[in-house]
Amino acid sequence: MLAYRTLFRIDRVFGVTSRCFLSKTESFSILSFRGSENSAMDGFKKQKMVNLMWRPISTQSSSILTEAGNEVQEVAQCSKSSDVSEEVIKGGVNETASVVSAGKHSVSLEVGASLIKFIRGKEGTTQMKLEEEMGVKIILPSSRNEDHISIEGGSVECVTKASERIATIIDEVVRSPSLDYSHFVSLPLAIHPELVDKLVNFQNSILGNHSIARDKQDDQANRETTSVAVDLKANSETNKVNVDIKSIPIVSYPPKAKSKSSTLLDLGIEKSIFIKPSTFHLTVVMLKLWNKDRVNAAGDVLKSISPSVMDALDKKPVFIRLKGLDCMRGPLAKTRVLYAPVEEIGDEGRLLRACQVITDAFVKAGLVLEKDAKQSLKLHVTVMNARHRKRRKNNKKKMETFDAREIHKQFGNEDWGEYLIREAHLSQRFVFDQNGYYRCCASIPFPGEHTA
């Protein structure tokens, strides 16, 4: 018989559950013998679930002379993958480790579906570099909806180092602009049909009824053209027809005045930069929630502060007025974001206090990036955003701004109306419900019109 011994050090980590271990800092051995495997596992299953993290210290194997041929065989064999497993968390990454076969170890990491592409890298370069340097095999999910990756290697040490490197990559990504915001806390305004109708009319009045395709056809029709005339004369003597071809002078038409749509394109204005009326809202705080645990934690935070939000609002309904248009930083000629300013009716500051309660709670929970936590809250309703512009095939670089001077001249003093703020949502970006609004992951109510 051959005994294979592996020694680990155990450390406690908050919020992580592990199995198969005895105490906080106790060193232990995993012995794999014939006939004792089942009894060892029965002992493990009786232990209380505790929060642990493992780090390998050393790995030793023993050699036994077999009776046949007196050959020396060194075997590093543990039980099946289900015999030894654990969950750990490193750098915000959930990790489940197991020994899968002779000389092979694996770990499963929940990294979040939106982060998989950063581990893969451009054309798989990051993944291949990690595999070569760490001596492991990284298995990425085939579906965009899956958020786990697996790392396989010949030793616990190489698997651990690879998982730590991936945790570092993720930590850098979530703090950089490379990873877009996935969620945000919103105060929905699209629930008011009258506001949606006004915004639809606003967009239609700017875009008009002209189409770029029609403009191109008109331009083609107005190009200079050349024609010919054929004069046929019959010759009675020869019974033949004489053909006299005469060219008609080039006819030039005056250039057609630029249509409205072509002018809008010159100004950088097109449909894609308008915010969809069905998604209109006030933004309280932006979030990067790259895995299910963070989404669930954010939902719990929002629900837990509902009483505090009610207190900040004095348990009274809050109404806002939307009036005019303004641009976010910079001149109107080079606008990036055009928005409708928000005024709290009564000017008591209750809405801002409630929003600050929400922001502070998410900051305290560690769900807001440091740079976002430092930004002062400016309540506004975005109407147009150049960042949403769709890149055209014939344009190598999309325009980062648009000229909003004429729009501001026409709608700068527009009264969009007064509206009740009814609730706060934890909204998921890029995913929409049946009404066209952002998918709601959690919500809390605001005082209603008849709240005492």
- Do 104 and 197 fall into the same domain? no
- Do 23 and 152 fall into the same domain? yes
- Do 278 and 160 fall into the same domain? no
Question: What is the pLDDT at residue 163?
Answer: 92
Which tokens is 1 given? 């018989």
In a domain, 226, yes or no: no
Answer for the pair 391, 325: CB distance below 8 angstroms, yes or no: no
Q: Residue 339: which domain range?
A: 183-202+261-445
In a domain, 367, yes or no: yes
Residue in the block written with tokens 């023993």: 62
In a domain, 345, yes or no: yes
Domain end among 154, 174, 194? 174
In a domain, 130, yes or no: yes
Residues 6+ apart with CB under 8 A from 284: 184, 185, 186, 187, 355, 358, 359, 377, 424
Query: What is the C-alpha to C-alpha distance for residues 422 and 437, in angstroms, rounded to an integer?
Result: 15
Answer for the pair 451, 317: CB distance below 8 angstroms, yes or no: yes
- Do 194 and 150 fall into the same domain? no
Question: What is the pLDDT at residue 74?
Answer: 34
In a domain, 239, yes or no: no
- Do 16 and 122 fall into the same domain? yes
Which tokens is 201 given? 């009319």
pLDDT tens, the chain, 452 aa long: 444 433 333 333 333 333 333 333 333 333 333 344 444 444 434 333 333 333 332 333 333 333 333 333 333 333 333 344 444 444 456 655 554 445 688 888 888 888 999 999 999 999 999 999 999 999 998 887 788 899 999 899 999 999 999 999 988 998 888 889 999 999 999 999 999 999 999 999 999 844 333 344 444 444 444 444 555 555 666 555 565 655 555 545 455 455 666 689 899 999 999 999 999 999 999 999 988 889 999 999 999 999 999 999 999 999 999 999 999 988 999 999 999 999 999 989 999 999 999 999 999 999 998 888 888 888 899 999 999 998 766 666 778 999 999 999 999 999 999 999 999 999 999 999 999 999 999 999 999 976 55
Share of the chain above pLDDT 70, in %: 63
- For the full predicted model, state whether its pTM sits above 0.85: no
Query: What is the C-alpha to C-alpha distance for residues 1 and 12, in angstroms, rounded to an integer?
Result: 35
Kindly report the CATH number assigned to the domain that includes residue 75: 3.30.1370.10
Question: What is the pLDDT at residue 23?
Answer: 36
Q: For residue 68, give the 3-state DSSP assignment.
A: coil
- Do 51 and 136 fall into the same domain? yes
- Do 325 and 361 fall into the same domain? yes
Q: For residue 187, give the 3-state DSSP assignment.
A: strand
Question: What is the pLDDT at residue 32?
Answer: 35
Kindly report the CATH number assigned to the domain that includes residue 274: 3.90.1140.10
In a domain, 249, yes or no: no
Using alpha carbons only, what angle is made at residue 292 by residues 290 and 294, rounded to the nearest 5 degrees?
65
For 128-159, give one letter per residue: b (16+ CB within 10 A) or e.
eebbeebebbbeeeeeeeebbbbbbbebbbbb
Query: What is the C-alpha to C-alpha distance for residues 447 and 452, in angstroms, rounded to an integer?
Result: 9
Which tokens is 186 given? 């919103």
| H or E element at residue 109 | strand 104-110
- Do 30 and 148 fall into the same domain? yes
Question: What is the pLDDT at residue 50?
Answer: 32
- Do 130 and 33 fall into the same domain? yes
Residues 6+ apart with CB under 8 A from 65: 71, 72
Answer for the pair 392, 398: CB distance below 8 angstroms, yes or no: yes
- Per the structure, the count of domains in the chain is 2
Residue in the block written with tokens 């729009």: 407
In a domain, 288, yes or no: yes
- Do 169 and 282 fall into the same domain? no
- Do 89 and 163 fall into the same domain? yes
Question: What is the pLDDT at residue 189?
Answer: 97
Query: What is the C-alpha to C-alpha distance for residues 331 and 318, in angstroms, rounded to an integer?
Result: 32
Answer for the pair 355, 451: CB distance below 8 angstroms, yes or no: no
* 350-364 vs 292-304: helix crossing angle, rounded to 10: 140
Question: What is the pLDDT at residue 242?
Answer: 61
In sequence order, the β-bridge partners of residue 33 are none
CA dist list (Å): 59 to 21, 107, 155: 18, 17, 9
Tally helices (H) and strands (E) across the chain.
12, 21
- Do 124 and 190 fall into the same domain? no
Using alpha carbons only, what angle is made at residue 428 by residues 175 and 373, rounded to the nearest 5 degrees?
40
Answer for the pair 61, 75: CB distance below 8 angstroms, yes or no: yes
In a domain, 318, yes or no: yes
